Structure 1
Amino acid sequence: MSRPQKKKEKPGNPVLSAIGNWLDSLPSSILESVYLSYLRGDLDHEGGAAYIRQQLLDRAPKRWVVYEPMVLLPSGSFTSAPWPALLSILSPSQKDALWAEILHQLSPTTKGASKPTHLAVNEGIPLQISSQREGVSHQQENILRSPSGLKPLFGSFGPCNPPSPPSQTDFDAALWVSTKQNGIIQTWAPLHIMFSRGNVKEKARLLNTPAFKPSCGKEKFAVDLYAGIGYFAFSYARLGLRVLCWELNPWSVEGLRRGAELNGWEVRVIDPSKEERQSNDEELLAREVLAEEKAQILVFLESNVHAAARIRRLREKCGLDIVHVNCGFLPTSALVWKDAWDMVRDNESEGGWLHLHENVGESDIETRRMEVQGLVSRWGEEGIEKRRRGAVEHVEKVKTFAPGVWHCVFDVRVTDE
């Protein structure tokens, strides 16, 4: 079989250009071997190495996203035949040459100050993960939203299985990447935590809705009960609010801390399991937290089941004016809705907003809105000393979660009756 002549790739796609260049650098015998394997003995088919080259290009990834300094390819990249057959017979150096060429071709397209140095394939966030108890495998909810399917291709991402809980040394050994949305920087370790690009619309809405902006006067607070790496907490900070955050995943908390500092916000991470043992006085801890005048963002490294009680004690000691509570967890954040209501209901003066996230079938959105309205109406009647009125003023359809299913946010306005 003769070596095929180089075919000019379609302009405008640097990934395909990189793959084409790399394929042309391989010995023709490699493509011919894959050709014979791919056809499984169908020697009547003509084309040889040129045919298999085109098959590889047709089934190559054509999209990407850059999170400095990493390039992320879409899920399923290089898994369609004949890619597995080709990759299985290559040496590590030959595969590295492919990944390096992709990064090289993408360098002129990146807008950041640094060239991309790492390459990975995004395999999504599993809703459940396997765990071992007494030698038996169990499936459990992936509460920490760990990206267990991320597939690093090129560059060091740090240790794959650091100890739990991780130490600062573990954090420093990991690769941290970043992006900017709505002028706000966010950073995370892609081997250990997720990033959801689709939240950009909701972040912008929080920043740009006039009714959401706090009034002048007494210091105002927002509460984020599922803070993650600061998706929505940073929007509240940009509005000038102090933010109380709850987050269970230490990798997310570290990302939030780093991101806050990159944006110029003072942040304090509070690990109650450590600090309370030292002070042996939770009320003292509460006073110390609110005395940190420069700390615009306060992050509790613990489950949000403790949030309601902690906020009650904080309010008793120092007073809190909470004007936003964000409940940003999918498929539903309903477990904390009543706690969120109580946090705003107990304000001494004005009310505020609840942002209740849930996945809802498109045909069920109006029904669910009425159900949420029924909940807050009933809660508003339960107050003894102070009654509040709750109204679902808007339902925001953020993005599709699955065919016919929307990630919705129910905006509940809480006011005096």
Structure 2
Amino acid sequence: MKHRLTAGITAAALAATALAGCSSSSSGSSGSPGGGKITLTFSSYAWQEPTVAANKKIVADWNASHPDVQVQYIPVDANSVHDKLVTQFSSHTAPDIIHDEAADIAGFAQQGYLAKLDGLLPADLKSGIPQGVWDSATVNGSVYGVPSLLQSYTVFANTALLKQDGITLPTTSNPWTWQQFQAAAKQATTNGVFGVGWGLKSPVSTVVSMSLNYGGKFFYSDNGKTTMRFTAAEQQVPKTIHDMIFQDKSIAPTTVTEAGSDVLPGFLGGKYAMIVGGNYLSQQILKDKTGDFQWTMLPLLKGDTQNQMADPQTYSIARQSQHPQQAMQFLDYFLNAEHLSALAQGDWLAPSSTAAQQRLLADTKGQDGWEAVSDSVKYLVNSPTSQLSNYPRWKSQIATPAFQGYLAGSITLEQLGQKLTDGWNQVGAAGN
């Protein structure tokens, strides 16, 4: 997924560890000693065309109304944000304002590269975002990023096909349980159409996030040590997916080895009644659909709860910046309800603040699933994985091949759990 950053254990990431504590007080901004015009640098990895346009307009409007505090917009490749920041922090050239995501900022915060925002946050900005979302950008009790847009994993439905099969769609007040979703998928598997296409080539984030529906956390703190558990709570979601593939045969088997966006042509072509993926896929559906294709995004699936992992896009201020107060003033402006609604529509993600959610519903009239997107925010909670420095390594080296093997039918559920726990003991436990 292009909007998800690659933050694995790379040579550059290892270099960041060696650079811990090298935070500089030198400026990433320009301004005259006498208090004249200030220029703030603002790096953003926005890549969807509507979002880039929204970013540029907000910055231009700010610059027009704030002649003494100008903002220089710097686009950054979404797939190289982490490594670029490592280089910038080590060379004391980091931008004042940094667009990143919660999963990536913990390491930089621990290494002293990001400013603590607690004393800078305006009261309205702080109170307007749910605490569970703030928790995802909090490290050792301090806030290091302002959450903005959030992804969830949801079901997209071909409404014409489901209506044809006599399936009643869920609502935000009456969402589908996993059992109802499984039953609907089985019912919709008919006449050469599969109930679900599900790109599970990279299944870990999806499974870990959706397992929170059953209280499955995978990672638990025991006397200051993090352990990996694979209890009934963690087993429920992967087992249901496995059953849909091999017992119900309602998930198209060819899609299991595909990336999330790879299933879109089949969905748009009527091969799958539903697909599951990040809510950002809506933007691609709108772009690629032809004719009178009828679709919507459904509310989050429900286990015991509808909870999923909060890993928002964030905006941080470099500790190197000489103008943190002005940077926060810009962020308060940048993330007001009107602007955040525009950014959310560009990326088709959920805005973090209640005011922006209300503005989004007014702007979109709740059509095409926007009501479900807005509704999802209250179910997004801080993930146990968010501050585990070795989680990316466990995810890529251990969990990904293990889940792939289970969903391919080559290992059992018990063997999956053994691989996950043994793998964490081998590569993950050190340092967490």
TM-score (norm 1): 0.26
- 1 or 2 for the larger relative contact order (CA 8 Å, sep ≥6)? 2
Q: Which of the pair has more CA radius of gyration?
A: 1
More helix by share: 2
Q: Please report the TM-score for the alignment, with normalisation by the length of structure 2.
A: 0.25
Higher strand proportion (structure 1 or 2): 1
